[in-house]
Amino acid sequence: MIPSGLLLAAYLFGAIPFGLLLGKYVGGVDVRAAGSGNIGATNVARSAGKVLGLVTLLLDAAKGATPVLVARHVLDQPVEVVAAAGVAAVVGHVFPIYLRFKGGKGVATGLGVFLALSPLATLAAALAFAVVFGLTRLVSPGSLAGAAALVGAILYLGEPRPVLVASISVTGLIFARHSGNIRRLLTRSENRV
């Protein structure tokens, strides 16, 4: 019974819309009606200020890392369950039941998941993000580069197959959620930070 209950708990925890809550109750802004309309850290930073954007980033990452750490260190689950808990948290963030399944893009929550699953691969992903963001001053290509680099780093490091599958799943979800950004990048109309 632990895996099914754990995955449900990971989903429900991942679905907590910290960006929306912070924007609304601390910043006085409904981030769904401002900027890009996204509940993630980038739009919170644009709509409610950089401090709240940073807090959102940290909380969204924490809700990805927490189910992984609990599954691994508290419940002593095998790696496939640990990785699945991480994916469930990202799915919760992207498709939150609390917001009629309209959530964020999964980058910060994915960051937390893989920081707990594979710190070295996450470091490589963060470096890729930093380089691309530094060159373009655009968050979306940095996020996409980081997600792609994560998969490559996990392959290079020889991480267990469930971790690789989780990275491919989360990266695919991140790319799908960035389809609008990709279109704007192609037309050079993407918003800068």
- For 144-192, how does the pLDDT look when each residue is reduced to its tens digit (9 = 90+)? 999 999 999 999 999 999 999 999 999 999 999 999 889 988 888 877 7
Reference 40, options 91, 119, 85, 107; nearest CA is 107
For position 1, what pLDDT does the model report? 55
CA distance 92 to 114: 16
Whether 131 has a pLDDT exceeding 90, the answer reads yes
Question: What's the token pair of residue 64?
Answer: 């990805």
Q: Cβ(94)–Cβ(104) under 8 Å?
A: yes
Q: Cβ(42)–Cβ(193) under 8 Å?
A: yes
pTM metric for this prediction: 0.93
Q: If pLDDT is split at 50, 70 and 90, which confidence band does 15 have?
A: very high
- For 61-75, how does the pLDDT look when each residue is reduced to its tens digit (9 = 90+)? 999 999 999 999 999
CA distance 48 to 19: 10
Q: If pLDDT is split at 50, 70 and 90, which confidence band does 193 have?
A: low
Question: What's the token pair of residue 183?
Answer: 């279109």
Whether 14 has a pLDDT exceeding 60, the answer reads yes
Number of Cβ atoms within 10 Å of the Cβ of 170: 28
- For 80-128, how does the pLDDT look when each residue is reduced to its tens digit (9 = 90+)? 999 999 999 999 999 999 999 999 999 999 999 999 999 999 999 999 9
* Torsion 131-134-136-142 (CA) sign: positive
